[in-house]
Amino acid sequence: MIGQKLKISFEDAGSLELKNIENAEPGSIAVLLFKNLSSDEEQQYFCEGFSEDLISALSRFKKLVVVAGNASFSYRENLKTTKEIGQELGVRYIVDGSVRKLGQKLRINSSLVSVNRKTTVWSNKFDATIDEIFDIQDKLIETIVSTVAGRVEADGIRQLTNSRPEKLATYDLVLKGLEFHRRNEVTIDNTKKAFELFGKAGEIDPSYARAHAWKACSMANLSAWEPDTFGKNWIDDCFASLTRTLELDPDDPEGHRNMGVIKLMKGEYDSAKYHHQRATELCPSDPFIIARYAGF
């Protein structure tokens, strides 16, 4: 169970039967980092963002147990077989793929592999433009969930997918921002760059909820680095961004998670508990959201 959530190594000491715990649950799945086949190495941020979005969407489905990206992405340079990776992560299915991006054109290959049977359940190739990226995500999500967990109605698929921006340039900016956000604890420059990109995304498309949610998160991180950056009212600015997030998309899990943090800092404990709980309900397999709720 721990191996599904944390990036750890271990030595097999033999099987051990534990009450009420299985090694690989029927709906357990890991998404490996999609490979960047573009000649431009800077497109790696797009592959990571696309892969993270798949994990986030799949984590919303209650019948699936989804391994966190920090565990499954650790195999990016690994030469182990899919079966070996699946066994180490304790899952029954592996999603693998690649992205080739050239300007506005995309080619995305993806496959679903059964770890136990060592066979490819399905594979597909998508040739599209950047404007169709969300349609591709929807098709992948629907196929994966319906194959692993059973038939899913159209309403269910809509609940699993993220809200779409009106302008695709905004999505690209958010993915670039997330690339720096993942390294925000390393240097303050990463945090500043993430905040800049999220802010720019929100300016280009004020209706994109994710941009406002991540702007608030990076603002809090930047305030931790430099408390005087935004003055004493930075918490109110974060609150305003998150309020806007939830007005645009009441089911945005990151919006609820961050709102829970802000409410806790304001001393509004009942409201903080609600938002943490709501984020967990929306993304029951997201380990970071679960950890935040547990910490509360």
Query: Which CATH number characterizes residue 154's domain?
Result: 3.40.50.10070
pLDDT digits (tens, 9 = 90+) for 180-217: 998 877 789 999 999 999 999 999 999 999 999 999 99
Which of 124, 71, 129 lies closest to 97 in space, CA to CA?
124
The confidence score (pLDDT) of residue 153 equals: 47
Domain shared by 21 and 116, yes or no:
yes
Domain shared by 203 and 155, yes or no:
no
Domain count, the chain: 2
Domain shared by 146 and 253, yes or no:
no
Asked which of 160, 187, 218 is the last residue of a domain, the reply is 160
Where residue 144 falls among pLDDT bands split at 50, 70, 90? confident
Containing structural domain, residue 284 = 168-295
Q: How far apart are CA 264 and CA 258, in angstroms?
A: 10
Asked which of 160, 188, 204 is the last residue of a domain, the reply is 160
Provide the whole-model pTM. Answer: 0.76
CB atoms within 10 A of CB 8: 10
Domain shared by 104 and 191, yes or no:
no
Domain shared by 147 and 25, yes or no:
yes
Evaluated on CA atoms 158, 163, 169, 171, the torsion sign reads: negative
Helix (H, G, I), strand (E, B) or coil at 111: strand
Domain shared by 205 and 224, yes or no:
yes
Cα angle 164, 107, 116 (rounded to 5 degrees) comes to 90
The confidence score (pLDDT) of residue 99 equals: 92
Where residue 173 falls among pLDDT bands split at 50, 70, 90? very high
Asked which of 134, 160, 186 is the last residue of a domain, the reply is 160
CB atoms within 10 A of CB 176: 21
Average pLDDT taken over every residue of the chain: 84
Domain shared by 29 and 128, yes or no:
yes
Domain shared by 151 and 179, yes or no:
no
Burial of 25 per CB tally in 10 Å (0-12, 13-18, 19+): middle
Domain shared by 17 and 131, yes or no:
yes
Tokens of 279: 């984020």
Domain shared by 194 and 284, yes or no:
yes
Query: Which CATH number characterizes residue 218's domain?
Result: 1.25.40.10
Domain shared by 113 and 219, yes or no:
no
pLDDT digits (tens, 9 = 90+) for 23-47: 576 678 899 999 999 877 778 888 9
The confidence score (pLDDT) of residue 21 equals: 47
pLDDT digits (tens, 9 = 90+) for 265-284: 999 999 999 999 999 998 88
Domain shared by 192 and 111, yes or no:
no
Which of 139, 127, 73 lies closest to 100 in space, CA to CA?
127
